[in-house]
Amino acid sequence: MNIVIVGTGYVGLVSGTCFAELGNNVICVDNNKKKIENLKKFIMPIYEPGLDDLMRRNVKERRLSFSSSIKQAVKASDIIFICVGTPSKDNGDADLTYVENVAREIALSMDSYRLIVDKSTVPVETGKWVAHTVKMNLKNRKGIKFDVASCPEFLREGHAIDDFMRPDRIVIGAETKTAVDLLTRLFRPLKTTLVVTDINSAELIKHASNSFLAAKISFINAVSRLCEKVGADVTKVAYGMGLDRRIGRSFLDAGIGYGGSCFPKDVDAFIRIGEKHGCNLSILKEARRINSEQIKVFIRKIEDSLWVVKDKTIGLLGLSFKPGTDDLRNAPSLEIVSALLSEGAKIKAFDPQAMPKARTIMDKSVKFCADAYKAAAGCDCLVIITEWDEFKSMDLTRIKKSMKQPLIIDGRNIFEPRTMEKMGIKYLSMGR
């Protein structure tokens, strides 16, 4: 099939590359011309494991190409996926400007039937507005037929290709036989459960899923604070809870809370959607409150363990909002760095992938290091922010020897407290 992806970011680039890998002809479009020029030269805008190789192969085999012209791309398409950003407005609403712009541009470029599918995370009833926008902009070509559908994306950065190729389910929100048939045909090779439903339900599935996962993280973080008060171990509590199949173990890792480009904005947007329809999603307001408190709990741990923060050297391990990505959008590291710098700390940092992006947005005084050992050397305290695998296998004896004092504060519970105690390292973690 001929697929056009509009918005070549984390979702668009992964989806486009994977659709090509499944044998479709794909054009990835973006209005960021520099990004498109770079992609044509195989310069990746993001780090995502395996994406570089898969993209190169599909370009070489002529199934995947890049363009900054929606008009040309739409001409060669059967299905157009909207994959642009839906950031938060100041009041928490999703900003749908990019979605509306793309819907308008698609309409102006259409000359015959097209299926327009929204993959961006959007508030319920966006499909209705996309259809309205397309209709209004067809102008004197009113006879041209089109369908709008919703296929929300559930990939996780860091595992995006595997998640796309082996999804738990695919949600198809579509309301005509043509749209359902086209999308069923497109996704059939993925051999997973297809949830075919109306567009509003599909849109709600995405927001409800992300909000539920965010609430699950906040729940275990609230429990972790209780664990600290009574001397219990939250990792044991989570293990015991997670064995119950009704609960499940995933998203029960206590830590410094959720960040990233999705959960914070999607929770905000879902709360606002509820309010607009007279439904108080107060459970999510509490989840959001716990999340913003959790990072402050962590920062306080660092402050209390150093007594005076001013002029102390603090090494940070991990800057991206989670392992496997270089994404720094709403990463907890940003708040931690600015809090510690405002108290006069000297910051050294290492991240396996996110340092090029961090250099462009973090304070110039942050010293970026070539590896974890260099970040730890001479520090009063080493802080683990992102649980990259390589940190789990560090030589802790070497780390201890190189530090001014052996103090590790772990926001992700990657080490065993007893092991650290035996090694003579003062070790503070979350909920243990």
Bridge-based pairing state of the strands 2-6 and 79-82 = parallel
Nearest distance in Å: CB 393, ligand NAD: 27
Residue 157 binds ligand NAD (CB under 6 A): yes
Does 350 carry a binding-site annotation? no
415 touches ligand NAD by CB under 6 A:
no
Question: Torsion over CA of 197, 202, 206 and 209, rounded to 10 degrees?
Answer: -40
Residues in CB range of 278: below 8 A, 6 or more apart:
none
DSSP state of 9: S
**C-alpha dihedral (353, 94, 174, 111), degrees to nearest 10:** -90
Stretch that binds ligand NAD, among 24-32, 224-232, 348-356, 391-399 (CB under 6 A): 24-32
For residue 163, the minimal CB distance to ligand NAD (Å) is 9
CB 383 within 8 A of CB 317: yes
Considering the rule CB under 6 A, would residue 127 count as an interface residue with ligand NAD?
A: no
Residues 242 to 281 in contact with ligand NAD, rule: CB under 6 A: 261-262
- Residue 255 annotated as binding site: yes
Q: Catalytic annotation on 262?
A: yes
Q: How many residues touch ligand NAD (CB under 6 A)?
A: 26
Sorted by sequence, the CB contacts under 8 Å of residue 210 that are 6+ apart come out as 121, 262, 263, 266, 267, 270
Q: How far apart are CA 121 and CA 232, in angstroms?
A: 38
Of the listed pieces 31-39, 108-116, 355-363, 415-423, which binds ligand NAD according to CB under 6 A? 31-39
Q: Residue type for 143, please? A: G
**Window contacting ligand NAD (CB under 6 A); options: 81-89, 108-116, 268-276, 378-386:** 81-89
Among 11, 51, 340, 376, contact with ligand NAD (rule: CB under 6 A): 11
Q: Is 216 annotated as a binding residue?
A: no
Provide the token pair at 353: 């992938």
- State yes or no: residue 7 binds ligand NAD (CB under 6 A): yes
Q: How far is CA 164 from the centre of its chain?
A: 14
Q: Does 215 bind ligand NAD (CB under 6 A)?
A: no
d(CA 151, CA 121): 9
Measured from the CB atom, the residue of 85 and 332 that comes closer to ligand NAD is 85
What's the min distance (Å) between Cβ of 83 and ligand NAD? 5
Select the residue interacting with ligand NAD from 3, 12, 252, 263 (CB under 6 A). 12
Please choose, out of 50-58, 83-91, 126-134, 330-338, the segment that lies near ligand NAD by the rule CB under 6 A.
83-91
**Terminal alpha carbon distance of the chain:** 53
Binding ligand NAD (rule: CB under 6 A), the pick from 3, 29, 376, 396 is 29
Q: Indicate which residue of 28, 227, 262, 381 is catalytic.
A: 262
Check: CB of residue 109 under 8 Å from CB of residue 139. no
Distance CA 38, CA 59 (A): 13
Angle between helices 282-306 and 263-276 (to 10 degrees): 150
Stretch that binds ligand NAD, among 29-37, 180-188, 192-200, 361-369 (CB under 6 A): 29-37
Closest to 99 (Cα-Cα) out of 115, 112, 83, 114: 83
Q: Verify binding: residue 103, ligand NAD, rule CB under 6 A.
A: no
Nearer to ligand NAD, 11 or 345 (CB): 11
Closer by beta carbon to ligand NAD, 97 or else 176: 97
Q: Where are the beta strands (DSSP E) in 144-216?
A: 146-150, 169-173, 193-197
Angle at 247 between CA 246 and CA 252, to 5 degrees: 170
Alpha-helical (H) ranges within 88-198 are: 97-109, 126-137, 160-165, 177-187
For ligand NAD, which residue of 80, 84, 234, 358 counts as binding (CB under 6 A)? 84
Residues making up the binding site: 30, 35, 86, 121, 154-157, 206, 251-255, 259, 265, 322, 329
Q: Which residues are annotated as part of the binding site for NAD(+)?
A: 30, 35, 86, 121, 157, 265, 329
Which residues are marked as active site?
262
Residues that bind ligand NAD (CB under 6 A): 6-12, 29-32, 35, 83-86, 98, 101-102, 120-121, 153, 155, 157, 261-262
Question: Which residues participate in the annotated binding site for substrate?
Answer: 154-157, 206, 251-255, 259, 322
